[in-house]
Structure 1
Amino acid sequence: MSDAVPGLRHVEHVMGSVFSFDVRVEPTPALRRALDEAVIHLHRVDEVFSTYRPDSYISRLGRGEIRREDCPPEVLEVLRLCAHATRVSDGWFSVVPEGTLDPSGLVKGWAVEAASHILHEAGARHICVNGGGDIQLRGPAAPGTPWRIGIAHPLRPGELVTVVTAHDDLAVATSGTAERGAHVFDPHSGRPATGFASLTLVGPRLTLTDSYATAAFARGEGARSWLEGLHGYEALAVTPDGEEWVTTGFHRYGS
């Protein structure tokens, strides 16, 4: 993006990842305050939900030291959304990996979506918030100009498997092994999911798009038919042997 394009841009290292903000509108004091608020929100999410912090609410809740009623409202909201994702995915999304309470599969997407909402409420209409490759877009990049999001090929470093084009609000989430190795587990067997090299899901909002992408990746065989029945979502998958498939409506976004 050229520096000549007016807007707010910011990169924040938090939650063990890199979050970037690209707000393509003339900066105003209100928008700058909103960006500060969005960044503060991300750090608050890390403090509350990090499973690496023994003093976080989610760690203490998982150890049974406190009850749900002792937690701030956002913990109850996230656990409710996790329960929804578990029901919709027939149990392939799980908040309990290897016996430990861990809603991380939903929290990052939820945090990104909330950050974009803060900016949108402040008047921004052309927003891209990217949390470690999981993206919430609001509006086009500019009037009449879509966002174009490159999706890295999981088996060919430096190449793209597709470019997602978005003219309006859209979330893009990718689960895969290229960056972090085998980190998605089959919640039923406890073994690493190996059915895909990557799976990219597009949908309206990142909270559920991210969790459904994780669930589909964990499901492996059978994921395609489940995703075809998931209203409002489309997917692109790459298998470990390099084969690709897309759901019926993915052509509206991919190129």
Structure 2
Amino acid sequence: MGSVIVIKCGGSTMDQLPDSFFQAIATLQANGKQVVIVHGGGPAINAMLDRLQIVPQFADGLRVTCEDTLGVVEQVLCGSINKALVRRLTQAGVKAWGVSGIDGQTLIAEKTGKPLGWVGEIKQVQTAIPQMMLAGGYVPVIAPLSVSTDGSHTYNINADVAAGAIAAGLQAEKLIMVTDVPGILKPQPDGGKTLVTQTDPQEIDDMIADEIITGGMIPKVRAALDALGQGVEQVVICRGTAGDLLGVCTGQTVGTTVRTNSTIKGR
């Protein structure tokens, strides 16, 4: 395997991603990087639930998935969102191939013990399908659904968690989490906020305890820590601009970089 970069595109950023973002992926590919995209789709799922008069529910930033919601999640993520991303990559000259974690049992999960309904906890990542796609020069575009070991159940997986697990499974050099904020922001006494440019597991635990990191950022940073713990070298949380994407991949300081304690200088 060459140098793999996993990019997680959040549902809240999907409509705002400029054409230049997809062109930047073409540039990365042309420079020998193997790119995998894992995507969410929260706003589109909520819009469809609203049309069906199903009230969305969340706990600690994670979607509670009842049987009816699961059907909508599968339809939106594997259908409209996945194919929209494939189309936009194709327009940028990138060969893209859309799948979900169900295909080829890429993501095998068990139902979580938390009161989240049909949400899975990933037990195994099987990388045969994304590796086959990468070897053929494609960018795999993966929807974060999973399947039970025997194939009898589909589970919803938080997209951040899925991206972290896939990055670990592929031993990616970088996991880039594209979101609608510049990174982790720390409140200042004057009421403003400053960007945390580098952080580590201990500081993240402290920021969660101090409620600096809240809501949907919690599963993001936890997925980042899991990925680092399983061999991913670097996780960056940043905006979805072409400049940010190319900057991360050329070693510039962009967004919030999360590394294990031992790799942060001066700590």
Q: TM-score, normalised by structure 2?
A: 0.28
Q: Which has the higher contact order (CA 8 A, sep 6+)?
A: 2
Q: TM-score, normalised by structure 1?
A: 0.29
Q: Which has the higher helix share?
A: 2
